[in-house]
Amino acid sequence: MLQKLLSSTTQKGINLKALYNCVRNEPELTKAEIAQSTGLKLSTCARLLEELIEQGLLYESGEAESSGGRKPKKYSIQPDVNYLVGIDISRTFSKVVLMGLDLKIIAEERFDMNDSSTPDVMIEQFTQVIHSMLDRNNIPDASLLGIGVSAIGPLDTKQGVIKNPLHFPAPKWEDVPIKEMLKKHFDTNIELDYGENTALDAERRLGAARDDKNVIYINKGAGIRLAIMLNREILRSTGGDKVGAFGQGHMVVDIHGKKCVCGNYGCMNTYSTIPALLTEAKSRLKRGHSSILSETVDDFSTLTFLQLVSALKQGDDFSEQVVKDVAYYSAAGLANMVIIFHPSIIILSGPMYREMKLYYQTVVEMTEARYKKLFPQLNVAFSQGELGENAAAIGAGSLVLDSLLSF
């Protein structure tokens, strides 16, 4: 029944989709709240609600408080009418999640990315896992409404192509027609977007940004991925895929600084990413700085992020100082973002924030110290998100409904 609703082009069908989308975006609204949000007359809204309930697409999910008289009903979408799959492809791991329409995870699978994780290998693994998930949960293929894919840019989201991402551990990730490759295995809707956008969308719907209008989301690891939400809308570049996603990694934090891969000097990428952190640590170790890493790493040029994290957890003074120094540049860039956008919350995700508590705490403290000099009354909340590494995949699945309900 949902496919029939989604394919309708009549005025009534458009109104039904608008109402359904309203309830999907804000579950447990009352009839009056839905009418106000959609702009439909209350009588029209009541009639369409009943129709969607009869079709099994919505249900009465509770009662709201009443100022007098009968308590108004609240409405939510039926989660098991169809199902969604979200795939997140990153440099260190990939994730597949199977969800109901309410974006609650039914099944999930994680894949570590290594030097053998080529596009062909990953598509084969994704395909096997999705079919297995559907079979184990007795879901027919026809009930799969679509597959959303989140990935590292640059992307061609319209054509469904991953173009030429940096720092992937395996070869052949240039000009990958991911949408076309999945279409060979699944006769369903396929959508592609930047992982930072889908992660923020998931946190907006289910996580740390549920009650916020203006949000900054940053994922920091081998690179820096930025998403911005203003007035509950996720911003997209006016240049589209020709420009790509927002590039906080190329915000200049030292005009006389190190040369970046982009050709400019002093970009955030050269100071506050995993490669930058390791470069700084290796340089100091080679100059003779004392550290417990001297006992565990034979060749400093082979130092890994996990080794540095381990030393940090053991209280290594050297590792703590390197992390604090690198955090300084993140805080400078983040304070710039706060001063410009005045977000109510900033979500800091990715391995640098997730694996290094000291790094996260230092960035938050230094960011607050900077922006409060100019805006002492501005209070910004900081979070590492509530959905963890599943955020991007959840948001990717939601992307399918976003596309189908757009009109």
Q: What is the mean pLDDT of each run of 10 residues along the chain (407 residues)?
A: 84 92 91 92 93 94 78 92 97 95 97 95 98 97 96 91 89 96 96 95 95 94 90 78 59 88 88 94 93 90 94 96 96 94 96 95 97 96 96 97 86
CA geometry: angle at 208 spanning 204 and 209, to 5°? Answer: 40
Res 64: pLDDT: 80
CA geometry: angle at 238 spanning 236 and 243, to 5°? Answer: 85
Task: Answer yes or no: are the C-beta atoms of 301 and 339 closer than 8 Å.
Answer: no
Q: How many helices (H) and strands (E) does the chain have?
A: 14, 15
pTM across the whole model:
0.91
All structural domains of the chain: 2-77 (1.10.10.10), 83-203+390-404 (3.30.420.40), 209-385 (3.30.420.40)
Res 324: pLDDT: 97
Interatomic CA distance for residues 392 and 42, integer angstroms: 37
Interatomic CA distance for residues 177 and 388, integer angstroms: 28
Res 24: pLDDT: 94
Task: Answer yes or no: are the C-beta atoms of 213 and 233 closer than 8 Å.
Answer: no
Q: Nearest Cα to 98, choosing from 117, 78, 122, 82?
A: 82
b/e burial code for range 100-117 (CB count within 10 A of at least 16 → b): bbebeebbbbebebeeeb
**Phi and psi at residue 316, to the nearest 5°:** -65, 120
Task: Answer yes or no: are the C-beta atoms of 204 and 210 closer than 8 Å.
Answer: yes
Interatomic CA distance for residues 218 and 346, integer angstroms: 8
- Kindly calculate the radius of gyration of the chain based on its CA atoms and give it in whole angstroms: 23
